[in-house]
Amino acid sequence: MFILQPLGTSIIQLNCFGSLENLKNALFLGAGPTWFAAWLLIFNSIYAVTDHSAAAGSIVKFPSLIKLLLILLGFHGLDILTLSIGGAFGFMPISFGSLPFDILFFYSGTVAKNSGWLAEGENSIFSKMDGFRPFLYGMFVLTFGGILVGSVVMFATGWVEDPNDAFDPVSKVGPYAWLFICLPPWLIIYFASLVMLDFFRMCFNFTTPATANLAGAAYGAYIIHPIFLDIFTGIFVRIYETANDDTIFFVGSNTTSTTELIDGEYWLWGGWAGLNCVTVCMSFLAAYLFRQYVPGAKKVL
């Protein structure tokens, strides 16, 4: 927090304004790191409670598929409640309405480990899916496709003219918008969770030295990736400006720009793909090297 935040802010100021005139503002802690640290403590507390609250050796049975669907429906009701509250609470901890499901999946992950939900046996998730796999996979594709098509239709037909209006589509679409908002997410959370677990178990259930190193570096990569994203975004801006003899303007103290790019579609999509690839690769490499060569790093990252 005390190193990455000032460093990241300084890089952003150099990218946007070409100077460090407001460097003093970079010395303060930003909301991002402190927000992350606070929620890390909260979920660590939840983990400590759920991990040790049950007696040693106790097994929690995985619910039937119907019961699981009803449980998720109840949590989706809480999800809609957090959306209706809005403000900072509605946004916690990552996106609008994510809090109930974050808590549910965090708790479920702990129980799954202790009760063998992901292992082979009668109490596993996969035994409950026997005989239903074609239906579950088909519903996942159908539900995901429905959300994708619905989103495209909403924007293409002018139901949502401004992307910022997507959080209040009722005024544009009418009362049926709530059906679009509430039903597909609930179903896709259900089907996607089961399908992805089953798919990765069948296709990627192995460990190699490379995957072990990637898994070990994943948390560190998550922590440090903004630094690399800031650096490579600045490089992208300079490459664009040099190649097109154009300037991307940042007005006032804004770190976002409304400048219309020349051949904007190619530059934006190409920049998005390139920045993602190089940022992910460098973040994992740096996190791996940090864990390997800094004494005690593996105990905290």
Q: Which of 104, 109, 105, 117 shows the shortest CA–CA distance to 201?
A: 117
- Give per-residue pLDDT as tens, 132-182: 899 999 988 988 887 777 777 766 666 555 555 444 544 555 555 555 556
d(CA 7, CA 27): 9
Statement: residue 288 has pLDDT above 90 = yes
pLDDT at 167: 47
pLDDT averaged over the chain?
76
- Give per-residue pLDDT as tens, 92-104: 666 666 677 777 7
- Give per-residue pLDDT as tens, 171-215: 555 555 555 556 666 777 788 888 998 999 889 888 999 999 999
Q: Which of 125, 109, 112 shows the shortest CA–CA distance to 47?
A: 109
pTM to 2 decimal places: 0.67
Give every CB contact of residue 161 below 8 A, 6+ residues apart in sequence: 172
